[in-house]
Structure 1
Amino acid sequence: MRTTRWIACAAVVVALLAGCSDSGEDEENPGAKDGKRTGPSPSAEATPPGTQLEVPTLYDTGRGWESTEEGTQLPLPRTGAVAVYWERPGEGGPDEHGFTVLDAATGEKRWSSVPVSPLGSTNLPYIRATVDGKEYLAVWSSGTTDDDAVNRGREIVAIDIFPADSSGDGVQPVHVEVDGEGKVRDGGAGLLVESGDDTVVAVDPATGDTTEYGIDDQEPPADCPQCESSWEVRGLTANGLLMGTSIDIDYSGFWVPGGWTSADLRPKGVDPDGSPIAQVISDDLLVVDWGQERNTDAIVWSAVDSASGETLATVRCEGDTTPIDDHMSANGRYLVHGGRVFDLEEGTGVCYERTDSTNPVEFQLATDEGVVYGNAINSEGFSSSGRPVQLDMRTGKIQEFDDVNIDFPFGDTAGFGLFWDEASRTMVAYPHAS
């Protein structure tokens, strides 16, 4: 039986996470050792994947599937799938790109796209977007179209969008062309095409419909009529643009024109003259760093519904902020944000930041059950090392793994963890243990 160590709780800001135990063995999974499950044997019908990794005890390595599809693996948690973004040489032209999407529970191919080629260069960035609960895959490029020896053509931004729940081979994209030069990003409630001038174009990934917004036409917040001198687009909500200001004026809020402003959401105790920072997470979700709470050293963070301005969860964190890596559990309940994990159903959260007595944790992934994986970072001088840990949001206990080389999943959906084995260049999926 593997012994485990429980790490002292750091700035846990949630009543139901009632502290950490100082003892204990892995009572739920007897026989586990060094992160590998050695409990009940799989059924006789199950065929273990050939790739066997050292994984957390949540996963059963005696069952599952594996794939050697070449490309970049992109988990699609809401769809219960994983996409592989591939590239291959084109015949006498630019490289071709496309997606192959596998079922996360079986490894079987759900669909594959037609190949698409970029305009202007071989660069074809991909975007994963979630809008109205549906996931989309998109690629974009900018360049000249309809040009020949006589005609100069026109500068456009071309976007090819694939619904993640497609089926079959040779899936055709929703093709969108926006005039002019620009860049495309996931704005939240749609794709945003930004050209650096006084307009932005929102693209609905479901239909390809575009909406042009004049930045100068947006309504400033009531408490900052001069904001139009220095405003910028931060994202897109279901009710319009999310606006903010650059740093050269004395206003640091953000707002949805005609809707809510950051002043409406500010938690009690936060300095009203602070500089809140909003980050778009998905189509309807922001994370806001409100800055320091008055008369304390705590930093207040909130998860906010971007359409309504409703605060979904709040957490107070003491210590220095860790690097930020965002991840949502497939069911949308748990949000990982650097050293913070929000429980959007309970409206609470937990922090593991760097303090005088604790090392920070960089969380990477949350499962639907509230099991969260990450690394506690111990920095000494110019070097740092990570120790793998597991947080259970249901109990508030954080556990250090004995095996420092344990493999964490890069995705978890449909009851399966998705892992990558660099040595064999293989993607392997193990189901949650019974």
Structure 2
Amino acid sequence: MFTVAPISGLFLDIYAGGDDNKAGESASPTPTSTKTPKTSERTDGARVIARSGDTGKVLWTSAPLSILVEPEPPTLKVINTAGGEFVIVVRRGNTPDEALAKSAKVVVVDSFPVVGSGLEVAPTRHIQRFVEGRLDSSAVVVGNGGVLFAESSVGPLGAIEAGNSWDPVDGSNQRFVATTTKRSKCLDGLPCEVRTAPIELTSSGMLSLIDAKCDRIDFSDACLRGFGVSDRWNSEAVAPQGRPLGAPIAVTGTAVIAAWWQVTKRDTRPSVLYVAHDLATGAAVASTECVVEIDLAQNRAGLPLTAASSPDNRYVVAGPLAFDLSAGKAVCLGKDPLSKTVILKSVGDSGIAYGTVQQESAANHFVDRDAPPAVVSAPVATGEVQAFSADTSVPESIAGPGIGIFRPVTAPRDPPSTRIGVYPKSR
């Protein structure tokens, strides 16, 4: 498990010695500390390791994090705040059964400034929350504006009914709830109640879904009303002409990617327009039509697609979509129903995007699951896809100008490799 800090050019991963790598942490060794660990800092606790993306040199390692029994795979995400880049570590598991305390299910979040030094760096902020029920039901959403903890399961498009927001920089905690307002006239001309429910806390404010208390959202109904960012803007003011219904599908530090459509007859395929909106103002920056329909019906934390930006923030990729925010251009790598869908996962400052091809297409539902997925590259300017042989690796992420993070190719039914490589080769 790793992440990159694009501004600082650092590579960060998590290592847990003594746990047989059951939770998916890095198998890379951590530097030896000359400090004698305390009982509460046993070396079987996970450590965060920060390396230079340019040279691979270890710049700092964290003190051992709190011990969790039967931990789930951790997640790491770098956020960009007014105080600089921070890496947020989210872990789920059970607290140890001790003499005076029973074991309990918890979700633990620690934050570290990305730029640091030393071998026993303590988190600047730490929070632990007890979990009722299954651990995977404890929705946690990390955004550039902070961390959201959901009190219950999330709704369509990751909408959260109630929970707490936590600032990983100053440690402040604030409760939030979805709000409901009455409107005298909605899209069908009749009165309705409209709910505004938080999805993610961005650097510009809370990104929220605005709907009519939908149980499900798809491209064939008018339940959805739109979305917005705090008091800055809402989708009604920026909707493309002829497409009044909009849904956020991905977000970066500078843009919200949204799908827009017009309700049609139930058996008619809608025309979907995908737009990159400026996060601060809502202004449309680039758009493209696409026959690929993003799954809006999922009920899980976060938005349907994971977006990645180039280090200079000019280019953004999300699923089959690629945007050039400076040139105001966009492409979709799913040009017709017979094309296999390309899922992009990284893009460099040169405008070259990288990804994989989904194994199924509309015309071919019978695929060889043992065949490795094809890997591809495509210039954002043209969208012309180039496929590579199955033994080729493309960048999982790009840590800085010309610095790609690669993972070795494994068999399709095997778990992803825990090893990573950097190209150009570290000096």
When normalised by structure 2's length, the TM-score is: 0.69
Q: 2:208 is aligned with what amino acid?
A: M
Q: Determine the structure 1 residue equivalent to 2:277.
A: 304
Of 385, 400, 403, 2:386 maps to 400
- Describe the shift of the 1:362–1:122 C-alpha distance in structure 2 as closer, same or farther (beyond 3 A): closer
* Secondary structure in structure 1 of the residue aligned to 2:16: strand
User: Which residue of 1 is the match for residue 8 of structure 2?
Assistant: 79
Aligned ranges 1:195-344 → 2 under 5 Å? 195-196=151-152, 199-216=162-179, 227=193, 230-238=195-203, 240-244=205-209, 245=211, 246-248=213-215, 250-270=223-243, 272=244, 274=245, 276-291=246-261, 298-320=271-293, 324-344=305-325
CA shift at 1:291, angstroms?
2.6
- After TM superposition, the structure 1 = structure 2 runs for residues 372-411 of structure 1, keeping only pairs within 5 Å, are 372-377=353-358, 379=361, 380-383=364-367, 386-394=373-381, 396=382, 398-401=384-387, 403-411=389-397
Q: Residue type of the partner of 2:259? A: D
Residues 89 and 348 of structure 1, relative CA distance in 2, 3 Å threshold = same
* Aligned-pair CA distance for 1:121: 5.5
Deviation at 1:240, TM superposition (A): 3.9
Partner of 1:136: 87
Q: Which runs of 5+ in 2 are unaligned?
A: 20-38, 132-137, 153-159, 216-221, 296-303, 411-416
Equivalent residue for 2:146, pick from 187, 190, 199: 190
- Summarize the Cα distance change of 1:360–1:286 in structure 2 as closer, same or farther, 3 Å threshold: same
Quote how far apart the aligned CAs of 1:341 are. Answer: 0.3
Q: Partner amino acid for 2:247?
A: I
Q: Is the 8 A contact 1:94 1:118 kept in 2?
A: no
Contact 1:324 1:339 in 2 (8 A): no
Query: In 2, Cα distance between the equivalents of 1:311 and 1:419?
Result: 33
- Using CA pairs below 8 Å that are at least 6 residues apart, which structure has the higher relative contact order? 1
1:431 alignment partner AA = P
CA-to-aligned-CA distance 1:118-150 (integer Å, 9 cap, x gap): 5675346323042337242323448789x974x
For 2:151, give the aligned amino acid.
S
CA RMSD for the aligned pairs? 3.9
> Are the counterparts in 2 of residues 101 and 110 from structure 1 also a CA contact under 8 Å?
yes
> After the TM superposition, which segments of 4 or more aligned residues of structure 1 sit over 6 Å from their partners?
90-94, 142-145, 151-156, 218-225, 293-296
* Higher radius of gyration, 1 or 2: 1
Deviations 1:300-326 (A, max 9, x none): 011223343232322222355599553
Structure 1 residues without counterparts, runs of 5 or longer: 1-71
Contact 1:191 1:202 in 2 (8 A): yes
- The whole-number CA distance in structure 2 between the counterparts of 1:410 and 1:289 is 25
Shift of 1:112: 0.7
**What letter is aligned with 1:247?**
C
Asked if structure 1 preserves the Cα contact closer than 8 Å seen for 2:406 and 2:421, the reply is yes
The answer to whether the 8 A contact 1:237-1:284 is kept is: no
Are 1:345 and 2:338 counterparts? no
Q: Would you say the 8 A contact 1:278–1:289 is kept in 2?
A: yes
Report the secondary structure of 1:96's partner residue: coil
Contact 1:389 1:398 in 2 (8 A): no
